[in-house]
Amino acid sequence: MTIDIREASRAWTLEALGVVAGYGGRTILHQLDLRIRAGEIYALLGANGAGKTTALSLFLGFVAPTAGQVRVHGVDPVAQPGEARRHLAYIPENVALYEHLTARENVAYLLDLAGQNAGADAIARALAAAGLDAQAFDRRVGGFSKGMRQKVAIALALARQVPALLLDEPTSGLDPQATAEFSRLLQLLRAQGVAILMVTHDLLGAAHVADRIGFLDGGRLVEEVAAAGDERFDVRALHRRYAGQADALERSA
């Protein structure tokens, strides 16, 4: 019996297997194995320069591996970038929106760019589900806070019904209330079966929201722990180790 690789990798919405990648001949990621299934939140932690953003860039097709393979919902993002990105929403640290358009207009326009149509009702439902105050729907996003911008971006992901979400430092600069609300939103997306990969420095935030946490050190995944079961993470022990890693890095800088 032959196994269809595309079908087999569907079990994992986001998959990087044995990936070696970098920039201009300099290797940043060494044999990276990362797999996130539908309805799972995975937090990738690591010190500055560990390769977290590079790992996200793999799934967006911005960085091509020199070895190994990357799949987004079974699609190779280097060979078929458009097809892979159709299955993805990416929320960078600072969400870029059209400043002179309203929240509602941004979602409508960005959906249109993604080749999707949604009626006014569906857009309003997505903005409400993302927790944006109804009074803000028709305000220009120019004056929006970081938390409000994220809500617009999440509304877009909800309206697009993507199976995978990538987030870069989503909680940096958010106040505690906005962070709590953001965690609630991630749970909502998880309940809808979205595979979520977030890169962050925030161990406590990650431990609060993630199903699994992976630690990148010098482009290597040195540890992976789960929120439940026998390997359930001990946040204090992780913090000691994680802080130790950061200290070691600072000493060597």
Q: What is the contact surface with ligand ATP in residues (CB under 6 A)?
A: 23, 28, 46, 48-54
Residue environment code for 157-192, b if the CB has 16+ CB neighbours within 10 A, otherwise e: bbbbebbbbbbbbbbeebeeebbebbbebbeebbee
CA distance 124 to 137: 8
Q: Which of 51/214 has CB closer to ligand ATP?
A: 51
Record the tokens describing residue 227, joined without a space. 């929120």
- Using CB atoms within 10 A of its CB, is residue 253 exposed (0-12), middle (13-18) or buried (19+)? exposed
**Distance of closest approach, residue 50 Cβ to ligand ATP, in angstroms:** 4
Record the tokens describing residue 132, joined without a space. 């944006």
**Distance of closest approach, residue 10 Cβ to ligand ATP, in angstroms:** 27
**Distance of closest approach, residue 200 Cβ to ligand ATP, in angstroms:** 9
CA distance 105 to 178: 23
3-class DSSP string for 97-142: CCCCCEHHHHHHHHHHHCCCCCCHHHHHHHHHHCCCCHHHCCCEHH
Q: Tell me whether strands 88-91 and 164-168 are parallel, antiparallel or unpaired.
A: parallel
**Distance of closest approach, residue 66 Cβ to ligand ATP, in angstroms:** 14
Q: Which of 30/37 has CB closer to ligand ATP?
A: 30
**Distance of closest approach, residue 33 Cβ to ligand ATP, in angstroms:** 17
**Distance of closest approach, residue 181 Cβ to ligand ATP, in angstroms:** 24
Cα-to-chain-centroid distance, residue 252: 29
The helix (H) or strand (E) run that includes residue 25 is none
